[in-house]
Amino acid sequence: MRDKEDERVDGGRRSWLIATTVAGGIGGVATVVPFVSSFAPSEKAKAAGAPVEVDISNLKPGDMMTVAWRGKPVWIINRTDKQLADVQKADKEVADPESKNPFSMPEPDYTKNEFRSRADHKNLFVAVAVCTHLGCTPTPRFQEGAQPNLPDDWPGGFLCPCHGSTYDLAGRVFKNKPAPQNLDIPPYMITGTTLVIGKDEKGEA
């Protein structure tokens, strides 16, 4: 009798263990799904420095757009040939024409040129829109010539509304201004019509 009772008990235990294992397995699957999806960069992660992808397919010559990266505004400007010529015109008027003195981050090697842009996309200018004086955001003043708070021979660029620092269309600060350095250039790369800020061939910043 005991043998038969033991068999029934053992059988009951096996059934209970199988049911528990299956239920646990189903619960495991349910918890894995949200965990895996959490690997996608959150808004908080992007603010902390994750790369940002930007569609530039509709950015026409002369247009500018602003996106956020690491909690800071970043300009993307599709400069015209005339604006590139204005950069060359400003060479003798800027304090650091070759950007030898970086501000808060090293400048990428591929932007260490007159236009501060990639050679294969020299028209596209990407810069952190934070004045190197006290951190205000400069305003675009692309129009050439005399304007309020600007010199009569203004070549086009940016004016900081806080203390009057001015930058050319390559983000280089003009001489005798409060700002000590040129605007930062973040690492970036261009793939087709997508511009990625915060990542290049060397990896993420």
pLDDT 10s digits, 97-136: 999 999 999 999 999 999 999 999 999 999 999 999 998 9
Taking the whole predicted model, whether its pTM rises above 0.85 is answered as: no
For 171-184, what is each residue's pLDDT tens digit?
999 999 999 999 99
Share of the chain above pLDDT 90, in %: 64
What does the pLDDT average to over 140-166?
A: 90
Question: 203 by DSSP, 3-state: which?
Answer: strand
The Cα 205–Cα 199 span in angstroms is 6
pLDDT of residue 46: 53
pLDDT above 90 for 153: no
Q: Are strands 157-159 and 139-141 parallel, antiparallel or unpaired?
A: antiparallel
pLDDT band at 96 (very low <50, low <70, confident <90, very high): very high
pLDDT band at 148 (very low <50, low <70, confident <90, very high): confident
pLDDT above 60 for 45: no
Domain ranges of the chain: 1-40, 45-204
Q: CA of 57: how far to CAs of 61, 63, 82, 119, 140, in Å?
A: 11, 12, 21, 19, 21
| Residues ≥6 apart with Cβ < 8 Å to 59 | 65, 76, 78
Question: 171 by DSSP, 3-state: which?
Answer: coil
What does the pLDDT average to over 73-91?
A: 95
Q: Which residue has the higher pLDDT, 10 or 68?
A: 68
135: left (phi over 0), alpha (psi -120 to 50) or beta: left
Length of the chain: 205
Q: Which CATH superfamily is domain 45-204 in?
A: Rieske [2Fe-2S] iron-sulphur domain (2.102.10.10)
pLDDT band at 43 (very low <50, low <70, confident <90, very high): low
Residue with tokens 């015209």: 80
